[in-house]
Amino acid sequence: MANFVLVHGAWHGAWAWRRVVDALHAQGHRALAVCLTGVGERVHLMSSLITLETHIDDVANTIEAEELQDAVLVVHSYAGMIGTAVADRMPQRLKHLVYVDAVVPRPGESWSSTHASATREARLAAAQASPDFAFPAPDPSVFGLAAEDHAWVQRRQTPHPGHTYQAPLQFDPKRVAGVPRTFVDCVQPRLGTIDSIRPRVRDAGFWDGAWTGGGGIRVVELATGHDPMISAPQELVRVLLDCA
């Protein structure tokens, strides 16, 4: 039995992992989907006080409270920031770190660092106009979703806490790289805000060469959009089981 900790990206919640959780449970594994503070099932906790550190604590405290060892930490999109932080702070608790079409930062970068200036400005302006300093979700079509999947995500998405957006993350790349890593590259269609990450995860010189050292890195392409837990759950589960 493997232990999976699943962390959603911006605007989503633990609900987004439902199909993956069900599939992992059916095969006898333990799968815990974390809902980050202020979004999804915990939208009632939305506050301008929520920061990147709040969300890092959400995940680290789940690992601690569940007394997990050898956890496969699976992070989607924005949660790449969180997974990187957790791997830096408690690498001994992780068996594998899976970035699912996720942000992979350099030390000192924020989630917004690799975004186009127009994207940054629009999100920050929306947050400034919000009483909770949050910015709204995009239409799920940008994630390659249509029909029932599109409707399912659209009615569940919630605004995302804005103070997570420009918060820099400091970490030791060599310590993070000591955890074996997989990057799941969702290529059909590609999400524009992840485009700058794709060459990084294929660059042997990334993190001053630490990226390809340590526990090792592999890149797996899936012919689906940015939300593979919804659009291609069985394909994603096969990747996760390989990591376990």
Cα–Cα distance between 227 and 139 in angstroms, integer? 13
The rounded distance, in Å, linking the Cα atoms of 154 and 141 is 9
- Residue spans of beta strands (DSSP E) within the chain: 3-7, 30-34, 71-76, 94-100, 134-135, 160-161, 181-186, 217-222
CA triple 142-148-154, angle to 5 deg: 50
d(CA 7, CA 99): 10
Q: Furthest-apart CA pair in the chain: how many Å?
A: 47
Burial 112-151 (b: 16+ CB within 10 A, else e): bbbbeeeebeebbebbeebebbbbebeebeebbbeeebbe
How far is Cα 146 from Cα 239, in angstroms, rounded to an integer?
A: 23
Which residue out of 48, 77, 112, 231 is catalytically annotated? 77
Q: What angle do CA 214, 217, 221 make, to 5 degrees?
A: 175
Centroid of chain to Cα 222: 16
C-beta separation of 101 from 109 below 8 A: no
Is position 48 annotated as part of the catalytic site?
Answer: no
- CA-to-CA distance for 212 and 203, rounded, in angstroms? 8
Q: Which residues are catalytic?
A: 77
